[in-house]
Amino acid sequence: MSTTDEDRQKQLRVNRELTIPLGEILIRASRSSGPGGQHANVTASRVEASFDVLASASLSKAQRTRVLARAGERVVAVAQDERSQTRNRELALNRLAERLARALVVPRKRRPTRPTAASRTRRLDAKRRASQRKSARRPPSTDAD
């Protein structure tokens, strides 16, 4: 069974592993303070897209845990850059997908490394020079020979 273009448009692609049905995303339009919100025939061009992480059926348990930890229960994206509500809707959905993608990134494990022989030598040389510099600042000792 192949997906048609219409079916693909009804889903938000977050990354290679995750697509979210648009039915799980709440999209609200309101008056914009930017372009399209200041002229005489005021339009509701500001678009806010919000995604409820806890209510989502498209996230796996691991994905849900990661998004909750990094982005919270609701992930929200707002766009009011353009005059067109349609364009702002696209921008808001893209921003929402970016936020979710950033929250889903699994950080690479840190592999502990050891200092190189050259860096150890440089460090010890710097310590030796600092010690000599400080000892040169001290007044001569008055030890009786």
How confident is the model over 26-78, as pLDDT tens digits?
Answer: 999 888 776 555 555 677 888 999 999 999 888 899 999 999 999 889 999 99
Domain span holding position 99: 5-104
Would residue 144 count as lying in a domain? no
Q: State the average pLDDT over residues 76-103.
A: 91
Q: Is the pLDDT of residue 109 over 90?
A: yes
Q: Is the pLDDT of residue 133 over 60?
A: yes
d(CA 102, CA 118) in angstroms, rounded, equals 38
Domain count, the chain: 1
The pTM score is 0.66
pLDDT score at 122 = 97
Q: Which residues contact 103 (CB under 8 A, 6 or more apart)?
A: 66, 67, 70, 71, 75
Would residue 140 count as lying in a domain? no
d(CA 105, CA 141) in angstroms, rounded, equals 62
Quote the percentage of the chain above a pLDDT of 70.
86
CATH of the domain at 40: 3.30.160.20
